[in-house]
A and B are shown apart, each in its own frame.
Chain A
Amino acid sequence: MKTIDQLEQIRAEISAEMAPRFAADRAQGVERHIMVCAGTGCTSSKSLTIIERFKAELEAQGAAEHNRVVRTGCFGLCAMGPVVLVYPEGIFYSHVTPDDVPEIVSEHILKGNLVERLLHREADTGEATHHLEDMEFYKPQMRIALRNCGKIDPENIDEYLAVDGYKALTRILTEKTPAQEIIDAVKASGLRGRGGAGFSTGQKWQFAANADSEDGVKFVCCNADEGDPGAFMDRSILEGDPHSVIEAMIVAGYAIGAHQGYIYVRAEYPIAVHRLEVAIGQAKEYGLLGEDILGSGFSFDLGLRLGAGAFVCGEETALMTSIEGRRGEPRPRPPFPAVKGLFQRPTLLNNVETYANVTWILNHGADAYAAIGTEKSKGTKVFALGGKITNTGLVEVPMGTTLRTIIYDIGGGCPNGKKFKAAQTGGPSGGCIPESLIDTPIDYDSLTAIGSMMGSGGLIVMDEDNCMVDIAKFFLSFCVDESCGKCAPCRIGTKRLYDLLDKITKGEGTLQDLDTIEELCYHLKDSALCALGQTAPNPVLSTLKHFRDEYVAHVVEKRCPAGVCKDLLRYDVDPDKCKGCTLCTRICPAGAISGVLRAPHSIDHTKCVKCGACMETCRFGAISKH
């Protein structure tokens, strides 16, 4: 247990220690802080080994005393990982391997010489950028939810305290701020739920605060079951700044009158789970969680519940059902969770990113937050950039930023000179946005208007090599797998939609099928029990709308323009290029290629299984697919 004075003392001491990271003058200071990303992405490229090597190397080269290695959360630029940032200069090294460590220590740390070959280079110009804030990737960004990711050691509560952590909570508890005042601030900020639907967070808090509970029990829950296959912002926040979420949940408990909270986190996120466990333990140790927090009389405890791999548990009623220990099936609403939620009690549920914003709002004021973004969508949004884009990673931009800015300025466009084709937002619930709409300022309403949705913020870029029918089929197969199976339209409808798309990708579809698909899509939107089923058709409808030609090509011409759908591919030998080496005849598993030595070969299309082995093997580029 710490007193408020002790917390202030820690805050002062540690922020002094952390000064090199925030020094205005880069040249100042003898002590260096070597920040190494330990998010999932960099960890899987051995960043933990890098941390160990740094510690060992500093020791070996006698520099351990004045330099420290800090394990941090995600910097965002996952494509360049493992990432190492050296303060106070703020030098950004990318693609660092454990073997690079001795050189960084001997050259940079000891002599002050930058290791040029590891500096980040811009994709378009190839120029080396020294500092993080000069990089094209970071320039248009504004980091609120991710504010501490990469800045602090997520497993050290003192570092969180040093960046004004638990300040809002301390203030509220000592000043005994009326609950309504807090709720009003959240409302005034204009913050909307970052989990998908974009419901007003303040309203949600208000409903939960207003709800009566027979025995006085209410719950605060955090949705950390990030299920969108291609989104990882919640994971990054939990890995990089877990206390910001915990603090917001305690404040929420205070505001709505709850004393117990649950964080429902994906079991597939072992690092996030570990950091949450550490953070909760530290918060309890400091008396920031548990009975009589900081002597204020307010009690709040927090438990972790591990999700077990079900996308549908992102749906609020399903999530609560799952915490209750049952099949994660959604139930009809009303009653809404704010009235009857977890264990039949009034429950407030927000997602990780939403909570991460709340703490910032409480510290900086609702007005400051409301000044960012568009009229109806305030603040910033984190996107997980993935797919055919140079700078895959996490970006946080003000609401209203255009897709073009995100994809080209921040993301560096499609790699290998390929042509941008579409961006997919909102995961399996979202839609594909074609190039013609790339200048749409992104917020909740504009995305819905163009047939997609914000979702949790997955943003997958596709280039000319991606087949949009195949992509629609991919998302449908996801929904078929992830449908809970309770309501008939979703359980069977997604399967039938998948079957129809499969038929089309096999070249067996008819134009009538396209009409059936469309009818079925609108049916699901109107009749499914929960948002999973209601939004499952979005990837199909948006591709049908924007890329109908591609569907028609599959159906009428029996052709896949992007060359993805295997059944529609045709491999042919160019007789002018073929030297008759017979290599392909030997590699073909189906015995479909015939020809004599030194004469052009030919492929029997009735036998060809379209494996592509011949094309890969041919040394003369004589075999092509189309």
Chain B
Amino acid sequence: MPNCKTVVPYRGTPEQEEELLRFVAEHKGQPGGVMPALQKTQQIFGYLPEEALILVAEGMDVPLSELYSVASFYAQFSFNPKGEHQVSVCLGTACYVKGSADVLEAVEKKLGIRTGSITRDGRFSLDATRCIGACGLAPVMTVGGDVYGRLTPDQVGAILDKYM
């Protein structure tokens, strides 16, 4: 959702494009087919490259601007690829009252990037998320599929080191 143009060159393969076009052809004209198409695009490419969204726009006969408008509305969609390791710190209420903002700050310091961005080498991207539903473990951070709960800011460094 961040307001920035895609900064990396498009690296979609013909196979990926074909997969997307197949999906689009199946869903064209279906009521409410836009969201599933966007989700499919993100699933295939990892983000929403402009080139891929043009395929969706042409295939579904929906203005590109409308697709972008819809996609940029939702937090789930990204216009830039994510890092190899996606780090997310939960800023849901339960985590927040238990100090997850400090955890997030510690991660920012450790990775040297702001929330919503990616390290220069493309290894880590950092996001703040809303409640992943693991409130019992608050405060929670996820790295890829790994969940780390009951965190304190000083544990962050050691955890991230494992992925460095």
Contact = CB atoms under 8 A, between A and B. Distances in A.
Interface of A: 40-41, 44-45, 78-79, 81, 226-232, 235, 267-269, 305-306, 308-311, 322-329, 343, 384, 386-388, 392-393, 424, 427, 458, 460-462, 466, 471, 474-475, 478, 484, 616
Interface residues of B, number: 36
Interface of B: 31-36, 38-39, 69-70, 73-77, 91-94, 96-98, 129-138, 140, 147, 149, 154
B136 A427 contact: no
Contacts of B70: 325-327
Contacts of A460: 93-94, 97
A326 B93 contact: no
B74 A308 contact: yes
Contact of A230 (B32, B73, B94, B149): B94
B53 to A, nearest CB: 14
B94 A322 contact: no
Contacts of A458: 93
A458 B140 CA distance: 17
Nearest to A42: B136
B77 A230 contact: no
A183 B32 CA distance: 29
Contacts, number: 130
A223 to B, nearest CB: 16
A267 B129 CA distance: 13
Contacts of B133: 40-41, 226, 232, 235, 268-269
A475 B130 CA distance: 12
B135 A323 contact: no
A384 B94 CA distance: 10
A471 B93 CA distance: 9
Given A229-B93, A306-B39, A325-B32, A388 B130 contact: no
A41 B75 contact: no
A45 B147 contact: yes
Contacts of A471: 97
Nearest to A384: B135
A478 B130 contact: yes
Contact of A327 (B73, B129, B130, B132): B73
A215 to B, nearest CB: 13
Contact of B32 (A267, A305, A311): A305
B163 to A, nearest CB: 17
Contacts of B92: 229-230
B75 A310 contact: yes
A394 to B, nearest CB: 9
A79 B73 CA distance: 34
Nearest to A322: B35
Contacts of A427: 93
B62 to A, nearest CB: 8
B102 to A, nearest CB: 9
A324 B147 CA distance: 33
Contacts of B73: 310, 327-329, 484
B49 to A, nearest CB: 17
Contacts of B149: 44-45
A230 B95 CA distance: 8
Contact of A387 (B34, B91, B98, B140): B98
A44 B96 contact: no
A324 B32 contact: yes
A322 B74 CA distance: 10
